[in-house]
Amino acid sequence: MNFFKAHQDDLAQLTRQSRLRQLQGRRGADFASNDYLGLANAPRLRQAVIEAMERGVPVGAGGSRLLRGNHPEHERLEAEAAQFFGSESALYFSSGYAANSALLASLPQRGDLVIYDALVHASAHEGIRLCRAECRRARHNDMNDFAAILKDWRQAGGTGQPWFAVESLYSMDGDQAPLAELVALAEANDAVVLVDEAHATGVFGPDGRGLTAAYEGRQNIVTLRTCGKALGCEGALLCGSQVMRDFLINHGRGFIYSTAPSPLMAAAVRAALQVLVHEPERRTRLHALVTVAKHHLRPLGVLFHSSQILPLILGEDARTMTIAKHLQHSGFDVRGIRPPTVPVGTSRLRISLTLNVDEADIAALARSLASVL
């Protein structure tokens, strides 16, 4: 008996649709990672881990934070992160996915309303699936739609707490949320704003504090700061009020029932925050590469929103993967993105700029892309 026939049929269908995912190694110049500031292999971070090991910090936590897994390195990181980002408190999670899903699954209560942007990350959708509040989808970056949904809910008798869930910088399109308008709408309606700063932390704002830096410290702002992208490490920090932190420690299942992140990784994240302060030239260099890429890639149809994420929307799944494979064989690690990660009909190359490439790499990528297109 074939116990996995349904699964095999599903995989066969994905193959016919050119949507079968497969793991593949790194190949060529890095135009695929989220290591925007080139910190994943930075000597300063390696040294921070070595020094932590030398002072006896363990590799593994040994348990969840509520059992024996809580380590002084976790608490030092949370204290320093709260100070750095200007929040009342911070809580360290094993991943951005865990943090985002726990946040939305735990904080909004029955009788509340969550309005989320249509393009929020899959981890937010996981939290929304588990959420006890009513959840409604708003058109991407459309504050009029956010306001209309909230008004309709109130007129229908909704009396709970409104919550807005957005990304400050969207991971597949590279565009920014209209945060000033969103915060103003929240202030006028006593709403809480949940902002995923995954792709903005380290890259934008004073000292790399992200696009919400001007709003941090407000009681109705909660931000997610992933540590595995521009910070070059692993895990995620939720920054917000002390009540938020205490509530998640007591009700956030993704936090309560997960083994704590490695204390060594907490030490590395602390070092990465210091790099943001003391090496601003990394951000300057990255933004300069964005300008160079704009010159070379915009004529080929690549979209620009003044960020390091550059999509080339091709539409067809098979064509997208064929072009991605050609670029990889030509020495450029560019990956194709297909549904369900992006909407049907918008398969794309997601070109990511990092300090792991230079101007010559960008010019060469443009020549190869022009050739295959």
Clarify whether 229 is annotated catalytic. yes
CA-based nearest residue to 191, from 119, 117, 103, 112:
112
Sheet of 347-352: strand order equals 309-315, 347-352, 335-337
Q: Name the active-site residue from 196, 197, 317, 333.
A: 196
Q: Name the active-site residue from 100, 126, 175, 229.
A: 229
- Sign (positive or negative) of CA dihedral 23, 348, 129, 67: positive
Q: Name the active-site residue from 35, 168, 197, 199.
A: 199
Whether the CB-CB separation of 36 and 269 falls below 8 Å is answered with no
Region for 41 from its dihedrals, namely left if φ exceeds 0, alpha if ψ lies in -120 to 50, beta otherwise: alpha
Q: Name the active-site residue from 168, 171, 262, 368.
A: 171
Which whole-number Å values give the CA distances from 263 to 55, 66, 95, in the listed order? Answer: 12, 15, 14
Clarify whether 171 is annotated catalytic. yes
Clarify whether 173 is annotated catalytic. no
**Which residues are CB-neighbours of 100 under 8 A, at least 6 positions away?**
121, 123, 124, 126, 127, 196, 224, 236
Whether the CB-CB separation of 149 and 162 falls below 8 Å is answered with no
Clarify whether 167 is annotated catalytic. yes
Clarify whether 121 is annotated catalytic. yes
Catalytic residues: 34, 121, 167, 171, 196, 199, 229
